A and B are shown apart, each in its own frame.
Chain A
Amino acid sequence: MVPVVLGTTFLIYVLVFALPGDPIRVLGGDKPMPPSVYQALRHHYHLDEPLIEQYCRYLLGLFRGDFGETLNGQSVSSLMASSWTVTVQLALTAWIFELVVGITLGVWAGLRKGGIVDSLVLSGTTFVIAVPAFVLGYSAQLVFGLKLGWFPTVGTDDGFPYSYLLPGMILGSLSLAYIARLTRTSLIENMRADYVRTALAKGLPRRRIVVRHTLRNSLIPVVTFLGIDLGNLLAGAIVIEGIFNLPGIGQQIFLAIQVKDGPTVVGITTFLVLIYLAANLVVDILYGALDPRIRYE
């Protein structure tokens, strides 16, 4: 964990440093900035020091829990606290949505292979995979938000979960399509397995076979996907956050990269790395719970 964090912060720090441009000049906008002010700001943000010195200063700050200051003089920690809350709520909404609806649809379609539900799920998911997220986002916002008024159009004013439902569903829809298909194929495959035939021959009720045996085995690839996807949802919501004006991580990092705001970019990405690591860990643990064989290997 520690080397990974050290490595990523350093890499990102160097990368941000290597971006072209001067963040202090951006602050001045199109107006010329007096040299005294320019120097004062460079000094304040330690931009007049060599890279290594800046990085060490940043690391020391990190150990004290100080993530530094954005170029507007805001503390990065409080900025991250507020934007992470938004992103986590959004990602969880999306994740729960894709988990519940995705697996339900997948099981339904898998059990009645070739039926109406199966065809609907197949065509529906093809559609969702084919259409880019921002098209879905804007259309849903227009139809369900503006015209029908079922959901808030933008912002987080209506709180959790109402404000997050529509963006969450759009954000989760792509993965939902994958989960539904993954569950379906996995289930169909397992239903043909020897142990299912044995169980059927033994006279176990079909319901019990599906829930207790087949589903549990079929969910292993799905769980892997879900685990990694939570990381993706947290990191990849830039477009959706933009459309629905949710002041989350994606938006902050986008704005920060534009003005070369080093401390913000490094702080957020470091956190993202930690989340990926945690998600992977949870997936590994869940494997064992679902399939005891993996535990012993």
Chain B
Amino acid sequence: MSVKKSRWLVSLTAVALAASACGGGGSGGTKDKSFSFAITEPEHLTPGNTNDGQGLNVDEALFDRLMALDPTGKPVPQEAESLTSTDQKVWTAKIKPGLTFHNGEPVTAQSYADAWNQAAYGPNGWGNNAYFATIDGYDDLNPSDEKAKPKADKLRGLKVVDDHTLQITLSKPFSQLPLVLSFAGTAPLPKAALSDLKGFEQKPIGNGPFMLDGAWEHNRQIKLKKFPGYKGPRPAHADGLTFKIYASRDAAYTDLQAGKVDFDSQIPAAKVPQAKRVLAKRFLSVPSGTMDFLEFPLYDKAFANPDLRKAISMAIDRQSIVDSVYNGAFKPVGSLLAPIVPGYRENACGEGCTYNPQAAKQLFDKAGGFNGTLHLMFSNADSTYEQWMTDIANQLKQNLGIKDIVFDKVQVSDYLTKLSDHKATGPYRSNWIMDYPSAEDYLTPRCTPPIRSGYDGAACLDLIKKGNAAGDPQQAQQYYQQAEDTVLKDMPLTPLWNWRDQAGYSNRVSNIDVDPYTMPLLRLDKVTVK
């Protein structure tokens, strides 16, 4: 809130108080070496509770974790000195000495244990609860019976050996743990957080390169400044970073054009041709981990035959849809994994995901065709869903001769409920946002019950478990690829395309280093301001 604003509010607060609290308006001709980043209103800021992209962008600046991802997607130590295991089940994390939170409190093994216990404790209802499900003792904190009280409020598998050593015991071997621990939701919490979680949410005390400057101003901005006591591997180059909150991506893009915001990581697909022209070199297109799928309700008899599902998949011309709806910005894929994930194979799906109307029609007829009305289901979260579903409907009409196709456009708040309750009326849009770049992250939800499509994933889950237990990354990858092949053969869902993030920056900032392995796309610490 600016000083001007509080005066308008006719608040009784002394002007001096307001002035000191709000200090430095930011705008103006002074040599202000801070930059701004466009987001929409985050849902949360406490790391263990934050699972929305906007909040995670902010957490990326505020919090360091044990691990981080390098620009190639490999996990590298951030606050950890080392993270090792001999059997993929018992892991030992050594934490670098001398690291502190923004309030001066040292970061210790206990800070991590506290944060993870909070998040894993079911009754807290925190958004990242599921990330800790691999740790031994998780079930005691999250009884499957709705009425039961949890048996414990601390994870049995976490042992604080000393200030700088944390022993993590998992319930089953899990080779991908270093990747999970790079996720911002696994950041540590200071003691101050535990005593006042509500206050912490409004003004988080982190351990990252930037610290809060004032509190979270809802629907306006979150102002950060450089943390002077930062000893970690990614010190901030800019003096400050303001997350400006917009109600829509369109508004953010308008402000980017006007030079009022320095970085926008989500230029709307419809504005891309114009952005390319206006921003020229300052326009960036970054591959993303997000995937769109068309998933089939296997519990509906009409879709029980895998050949029918394959025929539908083959009748979809993914490239033409991407060109017409997303201006060619997205990439058609024939894999369940995004191309940025290690282990991705171009067209792992083979002919099943390749556009071939003649073969599709033959297979369709062989499988007995489709009688009655075909429902296509999607949510009203974004207008492009209806656009590409229309294209798919036309292609299915043309290539397979399905005459009667209708849309079931469902309210966002109802969509996922319907899918989880197995109430889908026909093939529906499904989407996956990457948590960490591992094939395991993409495959586990496809094969672990309860599965929305009603698919029996036992065979695939077996292979994933073998991969999780493998000590050698090469070997793990082979198991994961076999698991992917299993799913693609049965085709409970067919991959459509992989998203790209369209970003742009102002001419005030330089050292713009982008890659898909950091949540905000941009390595926030590296940015310098002219």
Contacts and interface: CB of A to CB of B under 8 A. Distances in A.
Partners in one complex: yes
> Which of A22, A83, A255, A258 is most buried by chain B, counting CB atoms within 10 A of its CB?
A22
Interface string A54-96: 0000000000000000001110001100110100010000000
For the residues of B in contact with A, the DSSP-based class is mixed
Interface in A113-171: 141, 145-146, 149, 152-160
Contacts of A245: 246-248, 251-252, 254-255
Interface in A1-52: 19-23, 25-37, 39-41, 44
B4 A155 contact: no
Interface in A180-231: none
A251 interface: yes
A259 B44 contact: no
A74 B202 CA distance: 9
Interface stretch (B162-170, B410-418, B490-498): B410-418
Nearest to A142: B254
B420 A25 contact: yes
A275 interface: no
Given A19-B411, A20-B411, A259-B413, A82 B125 contact: no
A154 B125 contact: no
A242 interface: yes
A159 B25 CA distance: 11
Given A34-B133, A41-B125, A28 B8 contact: no
A243 interface: yes
Interface of A: 19-23, 25-37, 39-41, 44, 72-74, 78-79, 82-83, 85, 89, 141, 145-146, 149, 152-160, 241-245, 247, 251-252, 255, 258-260
Nearest to B51: A29
B294 to A, nearest CB: 14
B52 interface: yes
B260 interface: yes
B43 A154 contact: no
A275 B175 CA distance: 60
Given A29-B52, A30-B432, 18 more contacts: A25-B413, A28-B51, A31-B130, A31-B445, A36-B141, A36-B142, A37-B127, A37-B142, A40-B122, A40-B123, A72-B44, A85-B8, A145-B254, A152-B258, A155-B244, A155-B255, A259-B412, A260-B413
B251 to A, nearest CB: 4
Contacts of B9: 85
Contact of A157 (B27, B133, B432): B27
A36 B129 contact: yes
Contacts of B126: 37
A44 B251 contact: no
Contact of B251 (A23, A32, A89, A242): A242
Contacts of A152: 258, 260
A27 B413 contact: no
Given A37-B125, A159-B5, A251-B247, A22 B258 contact: no
A20 B414 contact: yes
B13 interface: no
B258 A146 contact: yes
Contacts of B255: 153-155, 245
A154 B247 CA distance: 10
B406 interface: no
A104 to B, nearest CB: 26
A157 B5 CA distance: 9
A252 B40 CA distance: 12
A256 to B, nearest CB: 11
A46 to B, nearest CB: 13
Contacts of B416: 22, 25-26, 28, 30
Given A33-B130, A82-B218, A153-B254, A242 B247 contact: yes
B115 interface: no
B306 interface: no
B430 to A, nearest CB: 8
Contacts of A78: 218
Contacts of A79: 218
Contacts of B73: none
B305 interface: no
A117 to B, nearest CB: 35
A259 B258 CA distance: 31
Interface in B97-152: 122-127, 129-130, 133, 141-144, 146, 150
B125 A44 contact: yes
